[in-house]
């Protein structure tokens, strides 16, 4: 991989979308114009994401698909085997981006990344990257392999200043998960006020705040109306003062913090 990974700034997150609801959400999103889907081995929905993709009137090559290797699958042998299973479930020839879902405390990073680079060399993982990697660990990963994307929790209540500075210095990409703080942005008075001024919704303001900084966002929704609303956030333009006001809401609110989390920045 050379150069910056080209990934659409707005994608569909699929955590917790299961069964026919997942197939429908993926198909509807693609038909509305989404071209970026985010799944993971752990979400237990790769099959449904693949079905939704095939049900939509879009070509596979026009859609950016990400999946993630779960913690149990980071040894050399398991990377290859579990990735084959992911492709089978997705019924796809390749994914656009394969991520390490979380850093592992005992499997050496070198081992996982070497196995992932092998997959990348075959073209079946077009790009490789990481998720939930703090800056120092991402830096180390980059000294081993071209992991140009890091997917992390990022929304108005959680700053990612250190990662953003590092990403911009090295021309890397951040993808924001939980970008609307699971709906909490709708209750913030500052965001509500900015939204009113534009006759838009608070969720649209939160998403645009991310994408206007060049950070990709992958909100999850099972509702057609929310999918549309989220996609249309790209029509909004926030001025410098509004961007600054949203940035000033950061208060270290981390909504995804399992026991195996690394030491964050």
Ligand X SMILES: NC(=O)c1ccc[n+]([C@@H]2O[C@H](COP(=O)([O-])OP(=O)(O)OC[C@H]3O[C@@H](n4cnc5c(N)ncnc54)[C@H](OP(=O)(O)O)[C@@H]3O)[C@@H](O)[C@H]2O)c1
Q: Which residues bind ligand X (CB under 6 A)?
A: 13-15, 38, 101, 131-132, 151, 177-183, 186, 203, 218-223, 226, 229-230, 256
Q: Around Cβ 184, how many Cβ atoms within 10 Å?
A: 18
User: Cβ 163 to ligand X, closest distance in Å?
Assistant: 14
Q: Judging by DSSP bridges, how do beta strands 173-177 and 64-69 pair with one another?
A: unpaired
What is the SS3 assignment for 57?
coil
Nearer to ligand X, 20 or 77 (CB): 20
The catalytic residue among 34, 43, 94, 177 is 43
55 Cα distance to chain centroid = 22
> Which residue's CB is nearer to ligand X, number 90 or number 218?
218
The residue at minimum Cβ distance from ligand X is: 13
Contact 150, 138 (CB under 8 A): yes
Instruction: Quote the least distance from Cβ 42 to ligand X, whole Å.
Output: 8
CB of 153 to ligand X, least distance (A): 7
Q: Closest CB to ligand X among 57 and 257?
A: 257
Task: Give catalytic status of residue 43 as yes or no.
Answer: yes
Residues in the chain, total = 265
**Minimum distance from residue 151 beta carbon to ligand X (Å):** 5
* Closest C-alpha among 139, 166, 163 to residue 264: 163
Tally of CB atoms within 10 A around 110: 14
Compute CA distances 126 → 43, 115, 145, 160, 249, whole Å.
Answer: 21, 14, 13, 26, 36
Query: Closest CB to ligand X among 100 and 115?
Result: 100
Give the residue numbers annotated as catalytic, written as ranges.
43
């Amino acid at each position: 991989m050379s150069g910056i990974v080209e990934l659409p700034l707005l994608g569909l997150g699929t955590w917790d979308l299961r069964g026919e609801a997942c197939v429908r959400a993926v198909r509807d999103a693609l038909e509305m114009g989404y071209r970026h889907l985010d799944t993971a081995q752990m979400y237990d929905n790769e099959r449904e994401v693949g079905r939704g993709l095939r049900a939509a009137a879009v070509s596979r090559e026009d859609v950016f698909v990400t999946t993630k290797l779960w913690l149990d699958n980071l040894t050399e042998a398991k990377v290859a085997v579990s990735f084959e299973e992911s492709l089978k479930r997705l019924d796809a020839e390749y994914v656009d981006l394969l991520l390490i879902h979380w850093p592992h405390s005992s499997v050496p990073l070198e081992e996982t990344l070497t196995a992932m680079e092998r997959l990348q060399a075959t073209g079946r993982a077009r790009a490789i990257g990481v998720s939930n990697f703090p800056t120092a660990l991402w830096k180390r990963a980059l000294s081993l392999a071209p992991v140009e994307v890091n997917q992390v929790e990022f929304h108005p209540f959680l700053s990612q200043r250190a990662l953003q500075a590092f990403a911009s210095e090295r021309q890397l990409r951040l993808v924001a998960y939980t970008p609307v703080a699971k709906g909490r942005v709708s209750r913030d008075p500052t965001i509500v006020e900015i939204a009113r001024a534009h006759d838009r919704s608070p969720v649209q303001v939160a998403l645009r705040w991310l994408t206007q900084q060049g950070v990709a966002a992958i909100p999850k929704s099972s509702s057609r109306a929310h999918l549309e609303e989220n996609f249309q956030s790209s029509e909004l333009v926030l001025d410098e003062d509004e961007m600054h006001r949203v940035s000033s809401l950061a208060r270290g609110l981390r909504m995804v913090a399992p026991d195996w989390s690394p030491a964050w920045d």
